[in-house]
Amino acid sequence: MVKTYKENFERYFIVIPIITLIFIVMLYIYFLLPTLEKNLSKEIQTMFVQEVSYFLQNVEDHIKHDIDNKSILDIFFKNESLRKKYEDELSLLLSPNIKYVYMLYLDKDGKFRYLLDASKEDKARPHQKFDVLDDDWYKVVKTKKDLIIKEDQIDSIWITYLKPLVNHNKLEAILVVDFSVKKLQEINGLIANIKLIVVAVLVFIGLAFNFILYQIIKYGRLKKKTYIDTLTQAYNRVFLSEMAAKLRLDNFAILAIDVDHFKMVNDTYGHEAGDKVLKEIARRIKSSIREAEDLFIRYGGEEFLLLIRKSGDRKKMEQFIERLRKIIGENPIKINDKENIKVTVSIGVNFDTDKAKGLDEAIKIADHMLYEAKRKGRDRVEIYNENIKIQNTDISLNDVKDALLEKRIISYYQPVFDLHKMKPIRYEVLARMKDRQGNIVPPNVFLDIIRGTNIYFDFTKYILESNIDMLKENHTISISINLSILDILNNDIINLIKEKVSPDIANRISFEVLESEEIENYQLIAKRLEIIKQTGAQIAIDDFGSGYSNFVHIANLNLDALKIDGSLIRNIDKDETSYKIVKTIKLFCDEINIEAVAEFVSSEKIFKKVKEIGIPYGQGFYLAKPMSFEEMLSFNKKFG
């Protein structure tokens, strides 16, 4: 799986070869420039010389015509006006690119001398000696053919074009044209500019290359940071959601791992200790898995997801998961210099990922099994099989979160009756969620999704705040609100109750603690309930008799009421044992002087039995169904 992350990252490295290619091309152009310069100057030289050559050919023709087969030197020496005429004719060639045009002859000592000079500047006198720097000049004497000399030793002249004037197979004079270095300088300037542009592009590419490289490294680090949970170094949910589409889900088994009693660790030893515990557990998990094959994700506060690649041998995988649970819980975790604490985890496993519609559903099943593991006493592994029914809804954690933000969590109210006066004494608050289509979603559907997350506490706070506000505006209404053990242990919830439950409403509000969630530390719970009681609110135990009831502990909790579980009331008219248990609970309530309330009074028969036992308060469909706020107000009015 890590490979996939790398693949994702390496995609950005495609840019580097492209830039390198451009860089190489530009570098090639740079080294090609001298050749280009050479060829360009050669081309221009040919072009210029050709033009001049045609011109000089015409001059030669004119001269030959004028001398009429006689010696050029004789005629020119004697005829000054003819010299002048040709000086004028040759001067037509002069331009910024052609600096000097003149005619030379070779004297008997082999010295070059001027015959005429059409140049405007540095004009020489006839017969004046002309020194040559290069012996190449004498080649033209030998070959009697046109010659181009590159004047490397002269700064102001680029090339000199020599055209021999041959008469009767004898070289008599040479027409000379000096090309100015200006054109060469222009070419060089042009090439220099191109060079400059190429260098600038190379520098730019170099900088861009470095910049992109820096960005890639930075991006890589950032991406890693985005994907990795800093505390545990496990992947986070962002990574999981990005991977979801690419993941071959059927290749993996999903393990939902949750640290048992983590909140207590945090509350007792502080968050620093909690962080140490999470870090160590993550380390233990990581050291047990194949990091290149498996995916380890911090899914929530103290919940991890482990996607392990299926090996084909289910039994071996089950053994590995059991071993993993033992490894995590085996050795105590050092939280400071003095204390080590033993921490266990509960694991929910979903092997049947191939049957899930998607990752969310597969996780939900693993999560459900995790909840089962918790329910069955924690520090255990629960594996999903097809016989286990999981309520299949499309509701996700985010849906509940959104519903809270959009105030789509609403309260329904079911009256609790004084069975003697047949009047409602209070209304139990029952939360419902409205989906975006306006459908009412029952609490059993969404509470399991949010349990163990912070949203669960946000949900409780919302229900508390909205109903306390309602009480302040409706003085004839009394309510009871359910609290889980998790709520009771949460400081924020307790502080909220302390702050919000003012004396004017305290006698109209009671809190029902769900007895079906096992209470392990009765002393702690008792302390917390005492804080609530100090506000003036009443405390009741909900679902008493659902299987975890302990009369001794209940007697010590300083309660105001006890709600007998529906599973007992439901059978009271048919089952003798249920009848007897309910009766005993009633007697117990009388003994410790608390109210007994019968839930699930769903028929007349049950109602009569409840009355017969003498339970003073009752609640159920037979008496009244849950109703909306407005219905509750009008219902309450009927009873004055």
* Residue 157 binds other proteins (CB under 8 A): yes
Between 124 and 447, CB nearer to other proteins: 124
Of 51-59, 73-81, 154-162, 271-279, the segment contacting other proteins by CB under 8 A is 154-162
365, β-bridge pairs = none
Decide: 603 and 623 in contact? Cβ < 8 Å.
no
Residue 153 found at the interface with other proteins (CB under 8 A): yes
Task: Convert residues 165-204 into a mask of x (bound to other proteins by CB under 8 A) and - (unbound).
Answer: -------------x--------------------------
Q: Does 244 bind other proteins (CB under 8 A)?
A: no
- Rule CB under 8 A: choose which of 16, 32, 132, 200 binds other proteins: 132
Binder among 151, 352, 435, 573 for other proteins (CB under 8 A) = 151
Q: Which helix (H) or strand (E) is 440 found in, with range?
A: strand 440-441
Residue from 50, 57, 128, 215 in contact with other proteins (CB under 8 A)? 128
Q: Which CB atom, from 17 or from 110, has the smaller least distance to other proteins? A: 110
Paired residues of 347 in beta bridges: 257, 381
Q: Rounded distance, CA 12 to CA 215, Å?
A: 10
Which of residues 107 and 492 has its CB atom nearest to other proteins in the complex? 107
Assess 124 for contact with other proteins (CB under 8 A).
yes
Among 3, 129, 221, 271, binds other proteins (CB under 8 A): 129
Among positions 78, 108, 125, 338, the unique one binding other proteins when judged by CB under 8 A: 125
**Smallest distance from other proteins to CB 205, Å:** 36
Q: Is 302 a catalytic residue?
A: yes
For the bound state, the minimum distance from the C-beta of residue 136 to other proteins, rounded and expressed in Å, comes to 13
Reported as type and span, the H/E element at residue 207 is helix 181-227
Question: Using H for helix, E for strand and C for coil, what is the string for 523-587?
Answer: HHHHHHHHHHHCCCCEEEEEEECCCCCCHHHHHCCCCCEEEECHHHHCCCCCCHHHHHHHHHHHH
Question: Can residue 130 be called a binding residue for other proteins (CB under 8 A)?
Answer: yes
Contact 573, 598 (CB under 8 A): no
- Residue 133 CB, shortest distance to other proteins, in Å, is 6
CA gap 162, 174 in Å, rounded: 6
How buried is 221 (Cβ within 10 angstroms: 0-12 exposed, 13-18 middle, 19+ buried)? exposed
Decide if residue 301 touches other proteins (CB under 8 A): no
122 sits near other proteins (criterion: CB under 8 A): yes
Q: Are 553 and 519 in contact (CB under 8 A)?
A: yes
Structure tokens belonging to residue 298: 């911090």
Q: Name the one range near other proteins by CB under 8 A: 76-84, 98-106, 185-193, 441-449.
A: 98-106
Does 96 engage in binding with other proteins (CB under 8 A)? no
DSSP collapsed to 3 states, 83-150: HHHHHHHHHCCCCCCEEEEEEEEECCCCCEEEEEECCCCCCCCCCCEECCCCCCHHHHHHHCCCEEEE
Distinct helix (H) and strand (E) counts, the chain:
23, 22
Which listed residue (37, 60, 172, 302) is catalytic? 302
Which residues, in sequence order, are CB contacts of 15 under 8 Å at separation 6+?
212, 216
Residue with smaller CB distance to other proteins, 68 or 135: 135
Which residues in 357-400 belong to E strands, given as ranges?
381-383
What's the rounded Cα separation, in Å, for the pair 94 and 108?
30
Minimum separation from the CB atom of position 159 to other proteins (A): 12
DSSP 498-531: HHH--HHHHTTEEEEEETTSPPS-HHHHHHHHHH
- The distance of closest approach from Cβ of residue 203 to other proteins in the complex, given in angstroms and rounded to an integer, is 30
Nearer residue to other proteins within complex by CB, 103 or 479: 103
Q: Give me the least distance between CB of 131 and other proteins, in Å please.
A: 5
Which CB, 45 or 353, lies closer to other proteins?
45
Task: Mark the segment that binds other proteins (CB under 8 A) among 102-110, 213-221, 288-296, 453-461.
Answer: 102-110
Partners of residue 114 on adjacent β-strands: 104
* Contact range with other proteins by CB under 8 A, out of 40-48, 146-154, 329-337, 441-449: 146-154
Q: In what order do the strands lie in the sheet with 345-350?
A: 295-298, 303-309, 252-259, 345-350, 381-383
131 lies in the site for other proteins, by CB under 8 A: yes
- Residue nearer to other proteins on the CB measure, 107 or 406: 107
Tokens coding 167: 């008469």
User: From the CB of 95, what's the least distance to other proteins, in Å?
Assistant: 16
Where does this chain touch other proteins (CB under 8 A) — which range of 43-51, 123-131, 428-436, 479-487?
A: 123-131
Task: Say if residues 604 and 584 touch (Cβ distance below 8 Å).
Answer: no
Kindly state whether residue 111 participates in binding other proteins, applying the rule CB under 8 A: yes
What span, in angstroms and rounded, lies between the C-alpha atoms of 377 and 200?
72
133 contacts other proteins (rule: CB under 8 A): yes
In the bound complex, what is the minimum distance in angstroms from residue 71's beta carbon to other proteins? Answer: 20
Does 97 sit near other proteins (CB under 8 A)?
A: no
**Counting contacts by CB under 8 A, is residue 156 touching other proteins?**
yes
The C-alpha atoms of residue 234 and residue 216 are separated, in whole angstroms, by: 22
User: Interface with other proteins includes 135 (CB under 8 A)?
Assistant: no
Site membership for other proteins, residue 100 (CB under 8 A): yes
User: Closest CB to other proteins among 173 and 539?
Assistant: 173
Angle at 51 between CA 46 and CA 55, to 5 degrees: 140
Least distance from other proteins to the Cβ atom of residue 86, Å: 18
CB of 158 to other proteins, least distance (A): 10
Residue 22 tokens, joined: 């451009």
* Beta-ladder partners of 409: 433
Closest distance between other proteins and the C-beta of residue 177, in Å?
11
Applying CB under 8 A, the residues found at the interface with other proteins are 99-100, 102, 109-111, 113, 119, 122, 124-133, 151, 153-157, 178
Catalytic residues: 302
